[in-house]
Amino acid sequence: MKNYFIDKEFESIIEPIMKNKEFQKLDTVTHHGISRLHHSLRVAYFSYKVSKKLHLEYKETTEAALLHDFFVDEVDDENVLLKLRRHPEHAVENATKHFNLTDRQKDIIRTHMFPITFTPPKYIESWIVDIVDDCSAVYERYHSLRKEMRAATTFMFIVLINIIRMR
């Protein structure tokens, strides 16, 4: 895992959220093959970098990006697409229980799955988190798939070697 805390300003923005006991539980939930906390940190860090570079509301953006998947209990739905559509609203509800969110932050969390969810982002900051989240998801899925492929290949080689030895 990249050491995101090397940036002192980023560290100071995320510190109050990282200290929250309920938020820390995200470290126990698997998401794209890694922990949901790890995924949220990646999205927060790159959203911070991009929004700061563009002179946007980067503190609000970083906090909302960190909270964009803030829920421990899964959305109760058998349908995968509906689950994907409902989880941003679930994250907004959960995040508002623990933190005071601005309208911009609620919009960032609520629209981070656009166009899978139908309402488009209202703010440029919401577009940034939406795009950063997509890029992070692709990167994380690719790496987790690569790990699984490596494990499967190793297993196949072991089986093959044993078959050859038995002959």
Q: Binding residues for Fe ion, per CB under 5 A?
A: 69, 133
Closer residue to Fe ion, CB minimum distance, 46 or 123: 46
Contact 132, 43 (CB under 8 A): yes
Cβ at position 16, least distance to Fe ion in Å: 20
Q: Name the helix (H) or strand (E) containing 124.
A: helix 124-166
Cβ at position 80, least distance to Fe ion in Å: 13
Only one residue has tokens 């300003």, namely 9
The helix-helix angle for 58-67 and 103-110 (nearest 10°) equals: 40
Closer residue to Fe ion, CB minimum distance, 125 or 133: 133
* Cα 105 to Cα 125: distance, rounded to the nearest angstrom: 9
Cβ at position 19, least distance to Fe ion in Å: 21
Closer residue to Fe ion, CB minimum distance, 63 or 133: 133
Spell out where 73-144 has E strands.
none
Closer residue to Fe ion, CB minimum distance, 57 or 69: 69
Cβ at position 92, least distance to Fe ion in Å: 11
